């Protein structure tokens, strides 16, 4: 279990990046959403052990994530937009770096590279932004760590590569593992997400599993407006609506983009009340 208890972080006096974050997150693939400056990157860095909370604790099972011992660090890995991989190629880097991760699978690494159309011997200096991103993703997804943190993993990828990435992520997750994906482009991996973590100005708005959300609210897309919508948008002749789901039977998949927009609207209180209410 990944547990956040009263997590706060301040970069300097008066600038609070995170405020009193409390969440219990189950294994699976979770989308992390929030506006620019909401605290997403700060939260990822705290979970990765790159930052230490100003207050509170983050634990993965029995491991305090502020603990930077080798045993603790080998359970997690972060791949962010500015990640620097030293070495001529991803193969060179993997030979140096993977020895610190006992769960690394060279077979999976090779399969990932092949799926992306790479051998791993290509020099980083000769790779495009997208190709370099694919090489790094192929490695990260082969590490087999308990907690994998991905910051905007689809940036720089073409349409076909995004499809490959969806497949590789789905194949890479095992029971008991966690993948947290921070992204603004919600729709590209939305079929994979088991849960959502939503931040707003450094505070936690929602942390919930997708099936629990779908038990309480339904997402309707129709040419006609919904009856009694909690939230509704109209775009190109279609109404995109969130309605109450009083029966508790899951009628639709979670539309994470629509949910995020709704939770940034005056409908937030009513929707959160439904989602967090007891059965």
pLDDT at 62: 82
pLDDT at 201: 93
pLDDT at 211: 94
Segments making up each domain of the chain, as ranges:
2-201, 211-276
Rounded to whole angstroms, the Cα distance separating 123 from 85 reads 12
Measured torsion, CA atoms of residues 199, 200, 201, 202, in degrees rounded to the nearest 10? -30
Q: β-strands 76-79, 238-244: how paired?
A: unpaired
pLDDT in tens, 34-71: 999 899 999 999 999 999 999 999 999 988 999 889 99
pLDDT at 14: 67
Q: How far is CA 145 from CA 99, 140, 171, in A?
A: 13, 9, 14
Strand, coil or helix: what is 138? helix
Q: What does residue 53 show for φ and ψ, rounded to 5 degrees?
A: -55, 140
Q: How far is CA 78 from CA 228, 233, 263, in A?
A: 42, 35, 27
28 touches 49 (CB < 8 A): no
The predicted model scores a pTM of: 0.93
Give ∠ CA 98-104-109 in degrees, rounded to 5.
90
Q: Which residues of the chain have pLDDT under 50?
A: none
**C-alpha closest to that of 262 among 166, 249, 226:** 226
Rounded to whole angstroms, the Cα distance separating 73 from 77 reads 8
* Domain covering 2-201: architecture: 3-Layer(aba) Sandwich (3.40)
**C-alpha closest to that of 264 among 236, 231, 234:** 231
Q: Give every CB contact of residue 73 below 8 A, 6+ residues apart in sequence.
A: 49, 100
**C-alpha closest to that of 41 among 71, 13, 83, 87:** 83
**DSSP H or E segment with residue 207:** strand 203-209
């Amino acid at each position: 279990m990944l547990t956040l208890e009263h997590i706060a972080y301040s970069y300097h006096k008066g600038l609070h990046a995170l405020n009193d974050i409390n969440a219990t997150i189950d294994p699976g693939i979770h989308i992390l959403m929030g506006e620019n400056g909401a605290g997403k990157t700060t939260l990822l860095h705290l979970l990765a052990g790159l930052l230490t909370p100003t207050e509170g604790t983050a634990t993965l099972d029995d491991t305090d994530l502020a603990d930077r011992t080798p045993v603790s660090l080998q359970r997690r890995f972060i791949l962010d937009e500015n990640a620097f991989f030293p070495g001529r190629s991803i193969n060179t880097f993997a030979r140096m770096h993977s020895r610190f991760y006992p769960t690394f699978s060279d077979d999976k690494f090779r399969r990932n590279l092949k799926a992306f159309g790479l051998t791993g011997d290509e020099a980083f200096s000769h790779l495009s932004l997208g190709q370099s991103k694919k090489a790094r993703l192929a490695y990260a997804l082969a590490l087999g760590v308990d907690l994998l943190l991905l910051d905007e993993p689809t940036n720089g990828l073409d349409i076909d590569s995004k499809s490959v990435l969806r497949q590789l992520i789905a194949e890479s997750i095992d029971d008991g593992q966690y993948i947290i994906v921070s992204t603004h482009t919600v729709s590209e991996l939305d079929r994979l997400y088991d849960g959502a973590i939503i931040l707003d100005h450094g505070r936690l708005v929602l942390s919930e599993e997708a099936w629990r959300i779908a038990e309480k609210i339904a997402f309707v897309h129709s040419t006609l407006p919904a009856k009694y919508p909690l939230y509704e948008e109209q775009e190109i002749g279609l109404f995109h609506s969130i309605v109450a789901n009083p029966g508790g039977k899951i009628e639709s998949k979670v539309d994470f983009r629509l949910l995020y927009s709704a939770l940034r609207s005056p409908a937030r209180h009513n929707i959160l009340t439904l989602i967090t209410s007891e059965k």
